[in-house]
Amino acid sequence: MCCVFLHRSDYLRSGGFDTNLNEWGQEDVLLFKNFAQSNITVIRSPDPDIFHMWHHKDCPQSLSDDHYKDCIRSKVLNEGSLTELGYMLLRDEIERRRNQRKGL
């Protein structure tokens, strides 16, 4: 997720977004690479007040393996918290303890 501020002339000089992309993602990564290769100064500054509005992400099977993995990674990072993931992984252990306490 990113928020980009730039001069129109720098955007045009970099080649801008790849408008031929027909699949999920990578447009921001490719734009950053275009800027880096164009010798345009890039300043990356995290801002805790910027948020990503949720939207559905479809990761079609037709993506290349690396592209699919990136799509799934993006879904993992945006779909749930680390706590939720931990509860999912430890669900059986939590259920066993609950049942033991109930005497089942």
- Name the domain boundary from 13, 28, 51: 51
Q: How far apart are CA 67 and CA 30, in angstroms?
A: 13
Residues 81 and 103 in one domain: yes
State the DSSP code for 86: H
How much is the pLDDT for 46? 74
- The pLDDT value recorded for residue 16 is 86
Task: Tell me how many domains the chain contains.
Answer: 2
The mean pLDDT of the chain is 82
- Regarding whether 63 and 102 lie in a shared domain, the answer is yes
Kindly state whether residues 76 and 99 are assigned to the same domain. yes
9-47 pLDDT, tens per residue? 988 888 888 888 777 777 877 888 888 888 888 887 777
DSSP state of 26: -
Q: Which domain holds residue 21?
A: 1-51
Q: Evaluate if residue 81 carries a pLDDT over 80.
A: no
In this predicted structure, what is the pLDDT of residue 93? 92
**Domain shared by 8 and 40, yes or no:** yes
When pLDDT is averaged across residues 66-83 and rounded to a whole number, the result is: 82
* Same domain, residue pair 68 and 87: yes
Residues 64, 39, single domain; the answer is: no
